Amino acid sequence: MCGIVGYLGYKAIAPLLVESLRTLEYRGYDSSGIAVYNNGTQNINIYKATGKLQNLVEVLPADLLMEPPIKNLQVGIGHIRWATHGAPTVENAHPHHGHHGEVVLVHNGIIENFAELKQVLQGKGYVFNSQTDTETVAHLLEDILKSHQHDFLPAVAELRRQLHGAYALTMMHKQAPGKLYVARQQAPLVIGVGNQGEYWVASDVVALVSYTNQIIYLEDGQYAELSEEGGVKLFGPDNTPVEVKIHTIQTGPLTIDKKGYKHFMLKEIYEQPDVVRNALLERITSDTSPVFIANDTPVSEKESVSIASLSQDVDRVIIIGCGTSYNAGMVAKYLIEELVRIPVEVEAAGEYRYRNPVLNDRCLVIAISQSGETADTLEALRLAIRSGAKTIALTNRPDSTMAREVGGVINVRAGVEVSVCATKSFVAQIVALYLLGIMMCEHRGVAEKLAELPELKKALLTLPVLMEAMLSNVDPLQKLARKYGHYTSMLFIARGVCFPAALEGALKLKEISYIHAEGYSGAELKHGPIALLDESMPVVSLLSDGAVFDKMLSNCQEAKARSAQMISVTNKAIPHGYENTFDDIISYPACHEWVAPLLGSIPLQLLSYYTAEFLGKDVDQPRNLAKSVTVE
């Protein structure tokens, strides 16, 4: 959620920290700040601002932003904050310092026992200037340092013992001007290694790849000291030294560019045909070729196990995810059950992790996370691993924490998704899950279903062309957004395999336009939601050709009879006698029933986008949302 950066070396510190934070802006934030060691005064100077990163730049001294010849070692940390404890104010922005300014730190995560710790510290005379849990950590660390003669590493070990919750910490100590300290517990943190004692710290590799491809992945419970002369001293949860392992990653500098589009979300919607092509590349070559999915584990130290072997000898599939990833899993449930003929459960990770589910080595658990760092999904996955289940991570980041802990990794290959509102990752996740379902069918020899595979494969291979045809004419959706943009609520309905796409359509609209929207099965309308319908409630129906088309028509008529404004998104001509059921009709190309959710989602994405744009909302960084939810 929040973003951490840090640097120790001989580059101009402030410009480097600001640019590193800029690479993390897309994650969503409401304030920012940096802290740099001043070699002249031997103090740590802190600069903070609310709002966009440019506001921080404007409060930085001009000489700090210059890049003069560097003679002294530069040390600093930076942070962009997404508010959890306390409103988005300068006082609550990071970095935070301890009572005497001896310690300055930035923090991602949530300290669950901060209130108890704060009460104890206030009893000792510590004064708090913010409402954050992070300031408690800074004061506590200073308090611990008193009893450790300002020896920082033993103090960090004691700090870890007292903190409960999730945290990634990057810390500076006034009495150790040439050092950085880091600690990780259930929140991502990596170290980048440069030349001649140069080090970077970040919560995401994205912030480092412009500078180095040598990465140290911190594991839960680890902490470290970074210095020019001592290198990286890494310690484990038991406070004993740990061997430092440096991974060479293949990702080069990332260019975050709108390429002429007004917003990243629109650019990413238009990238979806190529995303599908990339997801299919080498995994399926023709409608008669078998599907092959490699295990994408470039930084895993575990012995590689094939995806095919992981998906064999299982009696049940459990898909876990949050938000858009959950909806993608819901789509895949229909296909995998149909082709493989084993039960598939789709679980909201935040609930699943606190249950006591029935799992064993005959279960395959598929965890879906665009970032591979989603806290609830990661913890649900760890529950599955402890229970002996087979595990696969479906992610856009094969270098993520999730990818490093599972038996197998499927890279959805969507590329960097900048907009907080997920679009192309949703499509890529479904395609990857479809390929997994086909591969399971082929390997398990479900004879009566094998004959259906060539038609489905052909549908997937032709999907990018159909998507491009849809994206060539968006004028009707722009007009629709202007017509319905002033409504305060909408319903989205569908049935069958398109039902999860209705859930996703409602999620997109509420995420970026702030219009209240709900997704329902058309069959569920008369079991409660129909009470909401009148002329002030537009209903968007995803009508796909297939087994439930006629049933959906009947559901739409029921809604129209209650005076609802009816919008149809369909790939089939509306039958004679039903023309008056719909006030507006958006057509998309005829397609195989199984790919209808993929094609039908595009008009819903564009409707959400154009509605938000019409209302003047911040499309790429909607309020209260973060791209990667790394805390509960």
Q: Convert the pLDDT of each residue in 219-254 to its tens digit.
A: 999 999 999 999 999 999 999 999 999 988 876 555
Whether 99 and 221 map to the same domain: the answer is: yes
> What are the tens digits of pLDDT across the range 538-568?
999 999 999 999 999 999 999 999 999 999 9
pLDDT at residue 579, rounded to an integer:
83
Token digits of residue 596: 């209808």
Q: Which among 198, 205, 208, 163 has a CA at the least distance from the CA of 184?
A: 163
Let me know: does 541 contact 531? Beta carbons within 8 Å: no
In this structure, the answer to whether residues 10 and 89 fall within a common structural domain is yes
In this structure, the answer to whether residues 481 and 442 fall within a common structural domain is no
Element (DSSP H or E) covering residue 405 = helix 401-405
Residue of 254, 256, 264, 169 lying closest to 208 (CA atoms): 254
Q: Which residues contact 198 (CB under 8 A, 6 or more apart)?
A: 8, 9, 10, 11, 228
In a shared domain, residues 437 and 500 = no
Per-residue pLDDT at 351 exceeds 90: yes
The domain boundary residue, chosen from 449, 470, 491: 470
What value does the mean pLDDT take over residues 3-27?
A: 90
Residue 299 binned pLDDT confidence (cut-offs 50, 70, 90): low
Last residue of a domain, which of 436, 470, 504? 470
**Does 341 map to a domain?**
yes
pLDDT at 71: 77
| CA triple 582-584-589, angle to 5 deg | 100
Res 171 pLDDT > 60: yes
Is 255 inside any structural domain? no
- Note the pLDDT of residue 2: 80
Calpha distance 346→349 (Å, rounded): 9
CA distance 623 to 400: 26
Look over the chain and give the mean of its residue pLDDT values, rounded to a whole number.
92
Residue 249's pLDDT is: 81
Closest by Cα among 303, 378, 302 to 630: 378
451 domain residue, yes or no: yes
Domain count, the chain: 3
* Average pLDDT rounded to a whole number, residues 249-277: 84
> What is the CATH classification number for the domain harbouring 584?
3.40.50.10490
Q: Average pLDDT in the 510-531 region?
A: 95
Residue type, 352: Y
Query: Do 461 and 509 fall into the same domain?
Result: no
Q: How far is CA 369 from CA 24, 253, 283, 425, in A?
A: 18, 23, 21, 9
Q: Is residue 254 part of a domain?
A: no
495 & 556 share domain: yes
pTM of the model: 0.86
Structure-token pair, residue 96: 């935070």
User: Catalytic residue at 2?
Assistant: yes
Q: Do 194 and 73 sit in the same domain of this protein?
A: yes
Tell me whether residue 627 is one of the annotated catalytic residues: yes
pLDDT over 70 for what percent of the chain? 96
**pLDDT tens digit sequence for 390-441:** 999 999 998 888 998 998 999 999 988 888 899 999 999 999 999 999 999 9
Indicate the residue among 248, 282, 309 that finishes a domain: 248
Question: Torsion-angle region of residue 577: left (phi > 0), alpha (psi -120 to 50) or beta?
Answer: left
Task: Answer whether 520's CB lies under 8 Å from 541's CB.
Answer: no
Sequence-distant (6+) residues with CB within 8 A of 5 are 17, 20, 21, 24, 77, 78, 79, 200, 201, 202, 203, 207
> Within a domain: residue 455?
yes
Distance in angstroms (rounded) separating the CA atoms of residues 630 and 17 = 21
Domain that holds residue 536: 473-614
| Residue 69 and residue 38 share a domain | yes
- In a domain, residue 623? The reply is no
Position 621 scores a pLDDT of 85
pLDDT at residue 66, rounded to an integer: 75
Q: Is 150 left (phi over 0), alpha (psi -120 to 50) or beta?
A: left
* Residue 326 clears pLDDT 90, i.e. is over it: yes
331 belongs to a structural domain = yes
Catalytic, out of 267, 424, 617, 627: 627
147 burial (CB, 10 Å; 0-12 / 13-18 / 19+) is exposed
- Confidence label for 296 from pLDDT (cuts 50, 70 and 90): confident
CB 86 within 8 A of CB 43: no
Are 182 and 170 a contacting pair, CB within 8 Å?
yes
- CA dist., res. 276 & res. 261, Å (int): 20
Q: Are residues 445 and 497 both part of a single domain?
A: no
Residues 606-626 have pLDDT tens digits of 999 999 999 999 998 888 776
What whole-number distance in Å separates Cα of residue 603 and Cα of residue 541? 11
Query: Quick one: pLDDT at residue 1?
Result: 56
Residue that has been written with the tokens 């440069």 in this structure: 194
- Which residues fall within 8 angstroms of residue 447, CB to CB, at 6 or more apart? none
Same domain, 305 and 322: yes
**Stretch 469-494: mean pLDDT, rounded?**
95
The mean per-residue pLDDT over the stretch 119-123 comes to 95
pLDDT at residue 510, rounded to an integer: 97
pLDDT at residue 75 is higher than 80: yes
Please report which confidence band the pLDDT of residue 60 belongs to, taking 50, 70 and 90 as the band edges.
very high
**Is there a domain that residue 632 lies in?**
no
Query: Which residue among the candidates 2, 421, 556, 591 is catalytic per the annotation?
Result: 2
Tell me, what amino acid is at 228? E
CATH number of the domain residue 222 falls in: 3.60.20.10
Question: Is 46 a residue whose pLDDT tops 60?
Answer: yes
State whether 33 and 97 are in the same domain. yes
Selected residue with higher pLDDT from 257 and 137: 137
Residues facing 31 on adjacent strands: 50, 81
- Asked if residue 409 lies in contact with residue 300, where contact means CB atoms within 8 angstroms, the answer is yes
Are 226 and 91 members of one domain?
Answer: yes
